[in-house]
Copies of this chain bind each other. A is one copy, B any other.
Amino acid sequence: MEPVERVTRHFQEELEQLKTRLLEMGGLAEENVRLAVQGLVDRDRSVIERVLAGDEPINRLHIEIDSRCFKLFALYQPMAADLRTIVAAVKINTDLERVGDLAVNIAQAAQRYATHPPVKKLIDIPVMAEIAQNMLRDSLDAFVRRDIDLAQHVLDEDDRLDALKTQIFRELLTYMLQDPSTIEPALDLILVSRHLERIGDHATNVAEDVIFIVSARDVRHGVQGRP
């Protein structure tokens, strides 16, 4: 095998490993979001505790993935689409780490929420959580498969998430105004819905990165720039 060919093969192998690690991290973050919301709905302290303790593997992957990106930059000096992919990986890594933190924030709110009588049937919050988790999974699948259509689907879903957040806020505000005993637990549900909205924002960031990697087209801020 020619030396150049061997370097290319090594680079592609390392790139595949990087993607696998990002998927792994995304899976852990998604699972923690699911558990945190389950802990909130079921008022299950043992599930909540698991989320609070479960951020550590995500943080370890965060550091490992950053290292892998540096190694790829330094050893292979990638160009064009490969360069865009690794820069995107650095950003996606940051987004996933924040999703892990948000799962912890949801678990903390769930912990407080469980100390009060429940405010309402939490139907909308699990719906929000499901949309946010699907957005996260789809955005990472879109990254790995370089699938622009799937990335675009994630961007569309973000509007649904925002609409649900606004609806939940209005409903909870009505409860708070009618019955002050609901103020404290309702505040926690408002926070949870905002955490879920932000998880959707991070998935949106990933989806925008995917469109940029594949098409070198910048869809952020409604601008159609070229790097």
Q: Are B83 and A70 in contact (CB under 8 A)?
A: yes
Alpha-carbon separation in the docked complex, A87 to B78 (Å): 14
Please give the distance in Å from A225's CB to the nearest CB on chain B.
5
Alpha-carbon separation in the docked complex, A87 to B87 (Å): 8
Please give the distance in Å from A157's CB to the nearest CB on chain B.
19
Residues of chain B within 8 A of A67, CB atoms compared = 225, 227
Asked if A34 is at the interface (CB within 8 A of a chain B CB), the reply is no
Please give the distance in Å from A180's CB to the nearest CB on chain B.
6
**CB within 8 Å for A221 and B59 given contacts A74-B79, A173-B184:** yes
Alpha-carbon separation in the docked complex, A94 to B60 (Å): 22
**CB within 8 Å for A87 and B84 given contacts A180-B180, A187-B173, A223-B63:** no
Please give the distance in Å from A108's CB to the nearest CB on chain B.
12
Asked if A69 is at the interface (CB within 8 A of a chain B CB), the reply is yes
Residues of chain B within 8 A of A190, CB atoms compared = 187
